Structure 1
Amino acid sequence: MFAIQPTSYGGRGCFASCDIPRGTLVHIASTPFTSVIFRDFRKEVCAYCLAYDLGRTWKVRLRGPETAGMWFCSEECRDRWVKEEDPSRELVPVLEVIEQAVALARRKLQNSKVTEYDEDFVHDDFTFQTEAIESLWKHIDSLVMSTSEIDNPLRNPALKNRVLALEDIEYDSARLVAVAIVRLYLESHNTAIVPWFSWNGFADLESHESDLINRLSALLESHIRVFVFLKAVMPHKFQPFVTIANVRAVLGREAANAFGIWQLPLSSESECLGSSIFPSGSYFNHSCDPNLIKTRIGREMHFTTSRAVREGEEICISYGMMVTMPVQARQDLLQEQWYFRCGCERCMAELGSEA
């Protein structure tokens, strides 16, 4: 029904391979490559179907002592998550390790008598130039490999507690990255349990790491903490995949390719409950006059034509709830959150009329 092809303005997009009537479901992204329910909402959002009932806490947890930081609206959802998302039984132990490590480190840090020490990897005089960022990452890599208790943050007890006691935004990022690393590990071992995409398909998406750091420089510190944390806690068999390149790959692609997990029914008052990456859905580019509507149905993303589409026409979604905004406000929002200036026909016409 559509094919992924190069666009005239750079990158790739989805183009209709035939005439498509209005109201046609052209694609279903069945489950995310990686996703996270934000820590603030994790007890209130079903980890499988993503149901959210205005702050109601779900009661169903995983069986046994493992909780892995997930709640479910029903036993059916719990069982379906285990069957569909973790048939190898590799993912739950990793998420449980993260859960326990953060909780323990926070308790230790709270009880620690150490009140002052150098806890930042990114210092106040850091320049945030590309060369400096690359040099810093190399330095971080050497630190975590060091046998010195002074240099290695994971061998210094006080600093280790601070590194492992992640802030909530870092905790969310660590879970997002950890799921992707488990997927990569399973794929590398030729397991046939991830049929919907591959790491290469995910890594083929564009990274916006530099744009994100330029806009929010404090995130460089957070990203480094996520890497160091995962080097400290991920089980041994996953460690070859916990590399700086892989951690940066996930966080850089999440920056502009993620679909927010929004409270439904969707409105301007909806809460953003989490983040998910559907690689196949990320090839639909943005237009301020979209011909495709994206709708979350449970944990799936459905893409349906909002009008008839001609053969050869690019199929586009709107990245956010902005179609009613003035053109300059749309341009500013897209630049701030998705790092591009929109050149769709509607924007060009409206910008031309303002000239």
Structure 2
Amino acid sequence: MKPNDIEFELSELFEIRTTKYGGRACFARRDIPVDTDVLVLHRALGSIVCHEFRKEVCCVCFLYDNGRTMKVRLMEKCPKLAPKGAGLWFCSEKCRHDFLSRDRIESLIEAYELFETNWLSRASDRAGLEDCQTADPEHQISKTDIQRMWDGLEHSWVPMIDRMKLIRQRSQLPVLNEDEYGCVRFVAHCLFTLATANKSCVQMQAFRSLQSNELVKIQQYPILLKVQENVFKTLYVLLPPQLKPMLTSAIFRHILGSEYGNSFGIWESAECSESREYLGYCVLPEASYFNHSCAPNLAKRRQGERMIFTLNSPAQKDQELCIDYKGILGLPVKERRCILQENWFFDCGCERCLREMVEG
């Protein structure tokens, strides 16, 4: 799956265009007044709550109640399908009902339950796992290295696993750390959405057209290549039959390649942004075409699982619509640009940065 130039309309208020400096951006179709909601997204392609917050955050609306454990569990409604609760907690009966009402949700629940069972059974194996996986700092990962790993999986490991009985397959599973376990659940959520969504809907079109940052991200963090291998192997063995056909190396790599440069943090709702807890992350393909500016004209806010993008100043026709990627607007220009380069691989050239660099 490769990003393409499929034309689709995200909003009647703005359009996606190729910029003069390369890449794509969102531009106002007409003059738009301040406080206009230019994009409202009701559900992510995929999301994950950080493992440390899994019991304290509702997996539907992402409510966080100052560290208190969520009181509603899945197992109470699905004792046979998810006797261990599938690693899911809810803030209310309503959120649990909304989750269970999703089309073909049983396939995702089964996947989560299998992941949770495997995770709990490997607790003793994880005891000495932390920080033992390292990458060679002297070796610069290349596109060839990445493809070699995937060729090995597809042409050697997958055929070997396919010849084994299920119990033997599971004995070949890697031991995951918390981040890898979260990634397994995140990719499964994305696969579920891809399997159940209308293939022609805007979210699917936006996802297919997203740019992958796989190579540049792995070059910066070489350990991610091993993470990808561990996550793919776990999914290949444990995904239930309803979701397994969705797992191809191309789709898997596009999901993670897109997440590397386009994920949105799920933050605690609090008045003071400096003290908010980082609860997890999600991928919102439709919102991933907003570029960053250190003087953004769009503010983003979360209401439950909805994400809303609102103009904080009037926009003129053909003006680019931009957001703040990481809540870094209060930092000096050099720090902002360093953070953006490390996380999103670009040197910010917004008007504010250019002005502040000149001012010194």
TM-score class, shorter: 0.7 to 0.9
Q: Is the 8 A contact 2:46 2:186 kept in 1?
A: yes
Per the alignment, residue 238 of structure 1 pairs with: 243
Q: CA deviation at 1:236?
A: 2.8
Q: Is the 8 A contact 2:142 2:219 kept in 1?
A: no
Cα RMSD between the aligned structures? 2.9
Per-residue displacement from partner, 1:257-282 (whole Å, max 9, x unpaired)?
Answer: 01000112151222211110111111
Give the aligned residue type for 2:154: D
Q: Is the 8 A contact 1:25 1:305 kept in 2?
A: yes
Select which of 68, 77, 93 maps to 2:95.
Answer: 77
Select which of 280, 285, 295 maps to 2:286.
Answer: 280
Per the alignment, residue 10 of structure 2 pairs with: none
Per-residue displacement from partner, 1:297-354 (whole Å, max 9, x unpaired)?
Answer: 1111111111111111011111111112111111101001111111111112222333
Select which of 330, 348, 352 maps to 2:354.
Answer: 348
Distance in 2 of aligned mates of 1:310 and 1:322: 25
Select which of 164, 170, 173 maps to 2:180.
Answer: 170
Q: CA deviation at 1:102?
A: 2.1
Q: CA deviation at 1:145?
A: 2.4
Q: Is the 8 A contact 2:126 2:176 kept in 1?
A: no
Q: CA deviation at 1:206?
A: 1.3
Q: Is the 8 A contact 1:25 1:304 kept in 2?
A: yes
1:257-336 residue pairs with structure 2 within 5 A? 257-265=262-270, 267-336=273-342
Give the aligned residue type for 1:136: M
Q: Does 1:201 align with 2:202?
A: no
Alignment: residue pair count: 338
Q: Does 1:7 align with 2:16?
A: no
Q: Does 1:186 align with 2:191?
A: no
CA distance 1:124–1:345, change in 2 (3 Å): closer
Distance in 1 of aligned mates of 2:62 and 2:246: 29
Per the alignment, residue 337 of structure 1 pairs with: 343
CA distance 1:343–1:125, change in 2 (3 Å): closer
Percentage of matched positions with identical amino acids: 35
Give the aligned residue type for 1:33: L
Q: Is the 8 A contact 2:170 2:237 kept in 1?
A: no
Give the secondary structure class of the aligned counterpart of 1:21. Answer: coil
Distance in 2 of aligned mates of 1:300 and 1:148: 40
Q: Which runs of 5+ in 1 are unaligned?
A: none
Q: Is the 8 A contact 2:142 2:215 kept in 1?
A: no
Q: Which runs of 5+ in 2 are unaligned?
A: 1-12
Distance in 2 of aligned mates of 1:322 and 1:123: 31
CA distance 1:88–1:44, change in 2 (3 Å): closer
